[in-house]
Amino acid sequence: MNILRKAMTGAVALCAAASLAACSGNSTDTTPSAEPTQADKALTVTDVTGREVTFDHAPERIVLGEGRGVFATALLGGDPFEHVVAYGNDLTKAAPAFKDKVFEISEGAMKAQEIGNIGKGDVSLETLMAQDPDVVVMTLDQKKVAEESGLLEKMDQTGMKYVFTDFRQSPLEHTVSSVQLLGDLLGKSERAKEYGEFYESKVEEIKGRVEEAVAKDGKKDGLIWSAAGFVDCCSTPGKANLGQLLTAAGGNNLGEQLITADSKQFSAEKMIELQPENLIVTGGEWARKPDQPDTFSHVELGYQSSPQRAAETLNNPLGTPGLDLLQAPKQGKYFAVYHQFYDNPYNVFALEAFAKWLHPEAFADMDPAKDFEQFHADWLPFDYSGAFFAQAQQ
């Protein structure tokens, strides 16, 4: 890979050597050459599938197959787009307000090219080759599509290197290793390690409290309704992403009972029949222009929202015919969480919120909204704004 770039580099080096020889004549200067920098050293990384990938030098040109990988690179200090030459268009389509926050502070963002979506099969080998990448970073979801489409086989044939991250399928197992992988690729291994320690410490604290709460009061029934009001009723993550977090938070995840191998959809009638004790919907920035009338009946959450806006839109999904029969909203056990927590390393704050909502006494001293705001001050290169959690009042 990078044949053209390597050839040009070699030619420049040859010319430089010839010029130096001509200028130096019979010089016997024995000054030792500089030590190789970290960027010059060979690098071996391990991705979430256990694959080891070795580079002759630290990657200088990285393609983020999923643009939302920037949620992770933003944690690592410096420019979130450092060494990123291209990114998937899901960042623009799924998290435009977050993208705006990053682009405001990133010098590299405007230079990076937006490509299609590998997960939807609309990125070709030629598109990737045009970026002249040292490595392509893909997700486990994209891995399946790339295998089925033959893209991975073509990448192997050309010698294009790739690695896999995962914040979506198994967040509690793969978040730390995915951040570490990106840190290693970007020369920010120590920062990634520090985040891993922060993440694991927070998860363990929450799990410890959950264990005590469950031992005392048992698990609490809960159902996650994904993208409520944005897509037809209703969808749930089942055991994956936010569903895994709900279970870890001491919830009896009713979504696991609703999905099949072929579908994660269920009807409003089924939800009414289940009468979940706790109902959690995911909200986002799908209106794109929150100051104008919405085209979707969702909960407005994200960097462009506000606590007031979140409260005003909280009941939007409940306008679905028949859902007035649900008891959870009437009992103050109806909640909303930022949809993008399902696919980024900030997911630990969704875990914290779920645990507090299910076991309020055990987590009375925790405030996910304030903790997430402090997280921005401690870890992210841009200021906090918006609203990421909402809750019905009894």
What percentage of the chain's residues is helix, strand, coil (to nearest 5)? 45, 15, 40
Question: How far, in Å, CA of 228 to CA of 236, rounded?
Answer: 10
Question: How far, in Å, CA of 86 to CA of 93, rounded?
Answer: 15
361 and 236 share a domain?
yes
Confidence of residue 230 (pLDDT cuts 50, 70, 90): confident
Which residue do the tokens 């969480």 mark?
Answer: 337
Confidence of residue 261 (pLDDT cuts 50, 70, 90): low
46 and 174 share a domain?
yes
pLDDT of residue 23: 37
- Overall average pLDDT of the 240-267 stretch: 90
pLDDT of residue 288: 57
371 and 292 share a domain?
yes
- Overall average pLDDT of the 303-314 stretch: 97
pLDDT tens for each residue of 346-383: 999 999 999 999 999 999 999 999 999 999 999 999 99
161 and 266 share a domain?
no
Q: How many residues does the chain have?
A: 394
- Nearest CA to 171 out of 246, 262, 240, 268 is that of 240
pLDDT at 146 over 60: yes
83: left (phi over 0), alpha (psi -120 to 50) or beta: left
**97, 317, 349, 370, 386 from 308: Cα distances, Å:** 17, 17, 20, 16, 10
pLDDT of residue 31: 38
pLDDT of residue 34: 38
74 and 155 share a domain?
yes
187 and 242 share a domain?
no
pLDDT of residue 200: 99
What is the number of structural domains in the chain?
Answer: 2
Is position 271 within any domain? yes
Is position 208 within any domain? no
139 and 241 share a domain?
no
pLDDT at 203 over 60: yes
In the chain, at which residue ranges do the beta strands (DSSP E only) sit?
A: 43-46, 52-55, 62-64, 84-88, 113-115, 135-139, 162-165, 220-225, 251-253, 278-283, 334-338, 389-391
185 and 228 share a domain?
no
- Average pLDDT, rounded, for the chain: 90
pLDDT at 176 over 80: yes
Confidence of residue 126 (pLDDT cuts 50, 70, 90): very high
pLDDT at 271 over 70: yes
What tokens were used for 205? Answer: 């604290």
Confidence of residue 39 (pLDDT cuts 50, 70, 90): low
Confidence of residue 323 (pLDDT cuts 50, 70, 90): very high
Confidence of residue 232 (pLDDT cuts 50, 70, 90): confident
The domain containing residue 86 runs over which residues?
Answer: 35-191
Domain CATH code at residue 287: 3.40.50.1980
Is position 207 within any domain? no
Ranges 99-113, 192-206, 258-272, 315-329: which has the least confidence: 258-272
Q: Helices marked H in 189-252 — which ranges?
A: 189-217, 241-248
- Overall average pLDDT of the 89-109 stretch: 97
- Overall average pLDDT of the 189-202 stretch: 99
186 and 259 share a domain?
no
Cβ 255 vs Cβ 274: under 8 Å: no
178 and 251 share a domain?
no
142 and 223 share a domain?
no
127 and 242 share a domain?
no
